[in-house]
A and B are shown apart, each in its own frame.
Chain A
């Protein structure tokens, strides 16, 4: 089974609808992230959480909200979807530990959710 899963994998919705994207992980990592990917723009950070009581805005948080229900679950909501939120959304996890004296806060990504807002 995949370590980081995202549901749904694809979603088509209409302007104004509320949408929730879910992310679950079995890696035991404390840190979780939501990114969106747009063609030619790379990945941009929406929100991140370093533990269940910690939520932080990223560079493009407007129009989005998140919920960290447990260490393993981090959901992204679009309260009222608009067409320019059409994108590929990724969840990622990381663990800021040290291994062999080296920093290991590598982010591991889920398979992505392709969201289309009509």
Chain B
């Protein structure tokens, strides 16, 4: 069975602060894929990143960075110098096995105050 835990439910920061969203996953498969999605107040789900289990390189995209550590089964997401537009619900998801089904965490609501 696969499981994704996002222990933080709500985070509130002031603009320009850095913030890290935690994601811990469980799977028995050796090959798996991890994802982050953003759900802004408008409601749509926006794909942010995919990481394969055999690639532990961290990734940076502008103010966003992701830290993948197989040793701790974690795939954490950091927003540097947060902005009000970063306010959203962020979901971590796991796809393992051959059936291509995504298992989502319960999401983290991030509020960035001006």
The interface of chain A, by Cβ under 8 A from chain B, is 31, 40-45, 48, 50, 58, 88, 90, 92, 94, 96, 102-112, 114
Contact = CB atoms under 8 A, between A and B. Distances in A.
Interface stretch (B56-64, B70-78, B80-88, B94-102): B94-102
Q: Is the interface of A mostly helix, strand, loop or mixed?
A: strand
Contacts of A45: 101-102
Given A102-B52, A103-B33, A109-B44, A58 B101 contact: yes
B45 A109 contact: yes
13 contacts: A43-B45, A44-B104, A45-B102, A48-B101, A50-B100, A58-B101, A92-B45, A103-B52, A107-B35, A109-B45, A110-B44, A111-B44, A114-B43
Given A42-B105, A43-B104, A88 B43 contact: yes
A58 B104 CA distance: 13
B106 A42 contact: yes
A90 B45 contact: yes
B106 A40 contact: yes
